[in-house]
Amino acid sequence: MKQVHAADADLLARAVRTFMNADADAGYLETPGTLAFVATAADDITGWCWGYQLARPDGACMLYLHQLEVVESHRGQGIGRALMGAFMAAGRSAGAGKMFLTTGAANAPARALYDSLGGGLATQGATVNYWFLL
């Protein structure tokens, strides 16, 4: 059964090793405004996403999704959608009213996911950005 979890130190360390082939920064989860979620199936890491809640000078806050990735053999099973849902819900609960992310213009699967979740396209050069009303 596939599940999405708010990252704890162990899950984050395993996800960083899986997707970045590096060691996790032990203080990342303690940094104010950070959000990270990890998807698992049994004991395997199948996906993750992480980013930040950003304060704005007008008193509002918004989210920035820095990375969303699903293990290739687990793509097309709703894991990315579940991770996005968890990330967006956490941001909404924290008071964010918008979210943005950047992806490659040719990344059709990611763009289809973001479009299906209500993202509004704003093109800027070789990348595209999506804004979400939360």
- Three-state SS for the chain is CEEEEECCHHHHHHHHHHHHCCCCCCCHHHCCCEEEEEEEECCEEEEEEEEEEEECCCCCEEEEEEEEEECHHHCCCCHHHHHHHHHHHHHHHCCCCEEEEEEECCCHHHHHHHHHCCCEEEEECCEEEEEEEC
pTM of the model: 0.86
pLDDT in tens, the chain (134 residues): 579 999 999 999 999 999 999 999 989 999 999 999 999 999 899 999 999 999 989 988 999 999 999 999 999 999 999 999 999 999 999 999 999 998 887 889 999 999 999 998 776 666 677 888 88
What are the extents of the domains in the chain?
2-116
Domain 2-116 fold is: Aminopeptidase (3.40.630)
